[in-house]
Structure 1
């Protein structure tokens, strides 16, 4: 039976750093100690004023190809996960295909999935490999939430950072992609939303705070949703893969904030040494959090035989899968 593997991962971080001291300078009441205790982030990278999601995506692909000597002509499918596309149309993936120098025989598609986007992207990539539609799929996550956030929104500015990643999925590689568990519940969509700017509501140009032109997040409701859904997601994924909390070597969740992560770890009863928290230098980079942390895990030679990765959030949507060292 055909199998699909994560072969390589690279990522790109914008040059601009936005530190807790920068935030404290803008909002003196919101100091470093509060940010560390509530969110667990020291600094985050922020895209330049003229930088676009496609620019970051291209940088991530270039890093992937140069780091692992990948011939671009062999990439035959490109998936870009982003909630900050360059345009309504065309797909950002088409722009990136051209500017990154990928062949015109390469399929190119966007998905808009947010915090669970890496998991959903892997489902599509695995399907393309197993069905033999493609041999080498590059899954890019490129997120630029900073441009969705109001300048006076100290909470969300403290949480979110910008980043792009590129993952090569093929019929051979470092980690076999196991069985997925997925879910969605659109009844909670308004708890993490930008209400204006699509076809439903035009942007108003309202620059006051708060404004429906910018990102809105109902933190308490998102927390309640996560606490309700994630334990079932984890145990369901373990069951699908014939695994247990004991048999899995590492659990890597979407890096939303450290308070939530520690709560989930305790709720599910995951041992400290099996649970990754890796966001203090990046912030919440949305769909890029899991591949960044996974790349770091692999680079640091902490090779684990079995890793469970899980994403959850905006939508609501959620998903998880087990990865097996080959």
Structure 2
């Protein structure tokens, strides 16, 4: 009888043991899942904190600086109106740009530049600006030394159009911009070349850029004679001379078209033809050239009544300028440009120039 009872108790214990083991395993699995979920949550929080720290560190780190640069090497040959010819080899320009993110709202950019202009051969400060902006607002502010943003030079021609010749100027300025949707606008004040004790040289730009590739803009400058090209001995009056601009552009796939028209108000000392106008048309087509990405460009610009502006007896502006060019990438960070330029002066004499440019950047 004792043996029978013992056997029954053993059998019962054996039948209950798997159930108890199964219950214990499910409990352990449940606890393990809870622990894994807790660890995943902690890891997610830790990674979020690290990502935010890295984002902040990318702005506030000890080395928020990027350095870039470019250099252009030029071989050129020209046929002059008298039948003679000229040729030259130049390091045409070298630029070194340093950009620094000061914080999440402010960025600093400084560009040192060398140009082969026959004068000093040292680097000079071509641009030094601080930009204040935020993703949360359409407003921005730029202060420092940079190009006066009056002309809008579109197109990929290596030689600048006559619109650039009329308005080229780098100066100390303050620019306030607004950009939202298709609309953008900006107003600016700059020092100018005069000896005035007050900063009263002002400009205004407005533009609309549509999703279909069409854009239109306009600008006004209250005193264009304070730009470098109009610092001529034939202009002796100190009165302000305003200028206005309208520009159009259109992009469709690989084709880009642009047009610009500039007109000054009256220069009193230019009797009979006191107003100067300059306009420019350009077309660019991106395509493969000999198996590499490249671009074909065509540009034409013309000035009217600019022959009266002289310095030391020489005309400062051509009457027309035609450019025809092709560029091709040379692997990464290098480009070869071939360009033909025909320039006609106000005596109807032509100068033909062929430019071969190796443009490099990093």
TM-score (norm 2): 0.25
Q: Which has the higher helix share?
A: 1
Which structure has the larger Rg over C-alpha atoms?
2
Q: Which has the higher strand share?
A: 2
Question: Does 1 or 2 have the higher relative contact order (CA < 8 Å, sep 6+)?
Answer: 1
TM-score (norm 1): 0.27
